[in-house]
Chains A and B, each alone.
Chain A
Amino acid sequence: MPHLRRNIGCVFQDYKLLDTKTVYENVAFALEVIGRPKNVIQSQVPQILDLVGLTSKAKNFPNELSGGEQQRVSIARAFVNRPLILLADEPTGNLDPATTVGIMRLLDRINKTGTTVVMATHDQRIVDAMRRRVIELDRGEMVRDQSRGVYGVSA
Chain B
Amino acid sequence: MSIWRSPKTPTWRVSEFLDHDEAFAEFGRIFQDDPSLLENIRPEDLPVSFRVVPVDPELTQDIADRNEGLAGVDKAVTADEQVQNVLNATRVLRLGIYVLSGALLLASLFLIVNTIRLATFARRREIEVMKLVGAGNWFVRVPFMAEGLVQGAVGAGIAFGGVYLVQVAVFGNALKGHRNDLLEGFYATSSEAILIGILCLVIGAVIGIVGSLLGLRKYLNV
- Interface of A toward B, CB cutoff 8 Å: 2-6, 10, 16-18, 29-30, 33-34, 77, 81
Contact = CB atoms under 8 A, between A and B. Distances in A.
B79 interface: no
Which of A4, A5, A77 is most buried by chain B, counting CB atoms within 10 A of its CB?
Answer: A5
B139 interface: yes
Taking chain B's interface residues, is the majority helix, strand, or loop, or is none over half, making it mixed?
A: helix
B129 interface: yes
B135 interface: yes
B120 to A, nearest CB: 16
Which of B130, B135, B137 is most buried by chain A, counting CB atoms within 10 A of its CB?
Answer: B135
Contact of B129 (A29, A34, A81): A29
Contacts of A18: 125-126, 129
Nearest to A21: B126
B134 A2 contact: yes
Interface residues of B, number: 13
Contacts of B133: 5-6, 29-30, 33-34, 77
Contact of A5 (B125, B126, B131): B131
B195 interface: no
A50 to B, nearest CB: 21
Interface string B117-152: 000000001101111111111010000000000000
A2 B128 contact: no
Contacts of A5: 131-134
B129 A2 contact: no
B155 to A, nearest CB: 29
Interface string B2-31: 000000000000000000000000000000
Contacts of B135: 2, 33-34
Contacts of A29: 129-130, 133
